[in-house]
Chain A
Amino acid sequence: MSSAKFGGKGPRWRHELVLSGPSLRDGDPVAECERALAQAGWSREAIDPLALLIAELWHNALEHGVLGLDSALKERPGGYSEYYVLREQLLRGVTEGRVRILLEQVLVHGEPALAIEIEDSGAGFDAVEPRAPLPAGKSARKSGRGLHLVRELCESLEFSGRGNVARATCRWEGPLAG
């Protein structure tokens, strides 16, 4: 884990944490990232949308990458609750798997921005189209909303590796400022 004050002349601010084994179950990386952002000078208002993005990408990495859960389960009657009960069960027994979270200050077109990179030890998935629409259908879908929300709230979202590395870039104050 390394960090440096944002805006200084030294190395750009970055904060990294790695969760594996029991820390996947017991850790709260979102709260830890928030603490790091607050210490580095982000305001509470700026942290809320960033925390939301971190939470979405972390849950995605944990649930699909590490635990191998399939969101399609949420669409079955009563499936939404079933999904989270199964998540609990799988998480209790988790011994393998790893998630790495990296927050780093970057410049986008000369403007300060925050990159959130989350890598999981899972099999990944085929890169999705850059701005996939919400899943269509007559009934309101309960799955497939996380990454859509991330795309709406950040500047860019890219996948690399075998689809197991997600990197979202957000402007300093985030798109909410504009």
Chain B
Amino acid sequence: MRPTGGKDLPFRPKEWARAAEETGRTPMPILSNLRVDGTLVLRVVGRFDYRAREQFLESYEHCDSEPCGFEVDLRDAEYLDSSALGLLLTLRDFAAAKGARVTLCNARPLVARTLAAAEFGQWFTVA
């Protein structure tokens, strides 16, 4: 899904979650949205792992304009496994090459615990 400038795309996590349940946990969608302040926001839904790899990479590598920062909104992420931690580090490498930071926000308890166990506070802004 290509990010578009400043316009909110339809975001229907419940419908996607139901669809994923019915189809046997297909990769969850990653929604990207370029905020008016120039931050690219990526929202992940459900279980975040390597199956979301292509979608996740696509969501920030093919952004039409240059984001000045990155934010991963984890409010709808049920869990992150170690392969998702690797994906986040790949995003961090991409952002660091552009001198931008990555913020991870709104993590639920299990996800927050996973981020803490991985000592991600040293590589990301965890909000």
Contact = CB atoms under 8 A, between A and B. Distances in A.
Interface stretch (A49-57, A95-103, A157-165): A49-57
Contact of A149 (B53, B78, B118): B118
B107 to A, nearest CB: 13
Given A140-B89, A142-B89, A148 B117 contact: yes
Given A52-B79, A134-B119, A145 B85 contact: yes
A55 B86 contact: no
Interface residues of A, number: 25
Q: What's the dominant secondary structure at chain B's contact region?
A: helix
Contacts of A1: none
Contacts, number: 68
Interface size class of B (residues with CB under 8 A): 20 to 34
Interface of B: 24-25, 47, 49-50, 53, 57, 78-79, 81-83, 85-87, 89-90, 92, 109-110, 113-114, 117-119, 122-123
Given A140-B123, A149-B118, 6 more contacts: A51-B47, A56-B81, A80-B89, A142-B89, A146-B82, A153-B113
